[in-house]
Amino acid sequence: MNFILIAVIVLGAIGLIAALVLYVASKKFAVYEDPRIAQVSELLPGANCGGCGFPGCGGMADALVKGADAGSLEGLNCPVGGAEVMGRVADLLGMAIANGEPKVAVVRCNGTCEHRPKIAEYAGLRTCAAMHSCGAGETACGFGCLGCGDCVKACQFDAIHMNPETGLPEVDDEKCTACGACVKNCPRNIIELRKKGPKNRRVYVSCVNKDKGAVSMKACKVSCIGCGKCEKECPFGAITVANNCSYIDFEKCRLCKKCVAVCPTKAIQAVNFPAPKPVEPKPAEQGKEEKA
């Protein structure tokens, strides 16, 4: 009986002393952390994708709180959570909602097997980065998609997949969070984050080939040849042609699709627009055709 009592007293005393030491230490060496950081962290998606430019959601939360203290959340945007999450974060911090128009990854190459014939066979390591360092790849286009799926491997949201028929990656608009991982991993800078657009409607040049028209046409039937017709046609000044390749500024583009109609190589893509209504041929035109 005596032994048990001694054990209880000794252990109890050790426990008390240890508790006292811990209490003193926690008071003495306390590090103050803004409680809002933890709260903001909880609101963020927690994917740690790095799409915001910070190492993870913790870093982003820290930056958001610091931004709020400095008086502005400008330039801070969680691409994954989008406007909804940013709105909640702004409410919590008592700030105005930070801007953040939804964006989506867009693959700017339409060089399918049919449009862009293979001229060689690549036998090395099947990653785009490796193939890119060996030369133009299996086709004659030194700018287009290599088709090994580095972007697919980079995506943490299962939003980009290779289409086995075209050999090109396709982005799932619903799943894409515009974190930009695919953009960074594409060795040819084909993928771009563009404005998602109303009802996912977008107009873009689906080619990044900077070779002269004759050369790029030889490599791929749907390449941009830099002819400049779209630039002249655009009523909003959204299109610029540089280095034999056209580019549509999505901030200025009003989705009128006039450029799509004039593009001689069909390099400009308009996606998610309703199919054009079948136009009934006018009788006069019919007559002309018959004569011809």
**What is the 3-class SS of 179-242, one letter each residue?**
CCHHHHHCCCCCEEEEECCHHHCEEEECCCCCCCHHHHHHHCCCCCCCCCHHHHHCCCCCEEEE
Residue 170: phi, psi to the nearest 5?
A: -125, 135
Instruction: Check binding of 113 to another protein (CB under 8 A).
Output: no
Asked whether 34 and 64 are in contact (CB, 8 A), the reply is: no
Q: Closer to another protein at the Cβ: 113 or 130?
A: 130
Which residue stretch of 40-48, 124-132, 224-232, 281-289 sits at the interface with another protein (rule: CB under 8 A)?
124-132
By rule CB under 8 A, what count of residues binds another protein? 18
Which residue stretch of 101-109, 121-129, 199-207, 277-285 sits at the interface with another protein (rule: CB under 8 A)?
121-129
Instruction: Check binding of 136 to another protein (CB under 8 A).
Output: yes
Asked whether 44 and 76 are in contact (CB, 8 A), the reply is: no
Distance, in Å, from the CA atom of 145 to the CA atom of 274, rounded to the nearest integer, reads 27
Return the residue of 72, 96, 97, 133 that touches another protein, per CB under 8 A: 133
Binding flags for another protein, 185-214, as an x/- string (CB under 8 A)? --------------------------xx--
Q: Closer to another protein at the Cβ: 15 or 135?
A: 135
Which residue stretch of 22-30, 117-125, 222-230, 257-265 sits at the interface with another protein (rule: CB under 8 A)?
117-125
Asked whether 57 and 48 are in contact (CB, 8 A), the reply is: yes
Give the residue ranges of DSSP H helices in the chain.
2-28, 35-43, 57-70, 82-93, 128-134, 150-154, 181-185, 213-219, 229-233, 258-262, 283-291
Instruction: Give the three-state DSSP class for 8.
Output: helix
Contact partners, residue 79, CB within 8 Å, separation at least 6: 51, 52, 100, 103, 177, 178, 179, 180
Q: How far is the CB of 119 from another protein (least distance, A)?
A: 6
- The residue whose two tokens read 């959570």 is 81
Return the residue of 53, 135, 237, 264 that touches another protein, per CB under 8 A: 135
Instruction: Check binding of 94 to another protein (CB under 8 A).
Output: no
Instruction: Check binding of 242 to another protein (CB under 8 A).
Output: no
Residue type, 18: A
Which residue stretch of 49-57, 114-122, 165-173, 198-206 sits at the interface with another protein (rule: CB under 8 A)?
114-122
Which residue stretch of 76-84, 126-134, 188-196, 284-292 sits at the interface with another protein (rule: CB under 8 A)?
126-134
Instruction: Check binding of 152 to another protein (CB under 8 A).
Output: no
Tokens of 242: 């540089």
Return the residue of 67, 142, 195, 257 that touches another protein, per CB under 8 A: 142
Instruction: Kindly list the residues in this chain that would bind another protein in the complex (CB under 8 A).
Output: 119-121, 123-125, 127, 129-130, 133-136, 140, 142, 211-212, 215
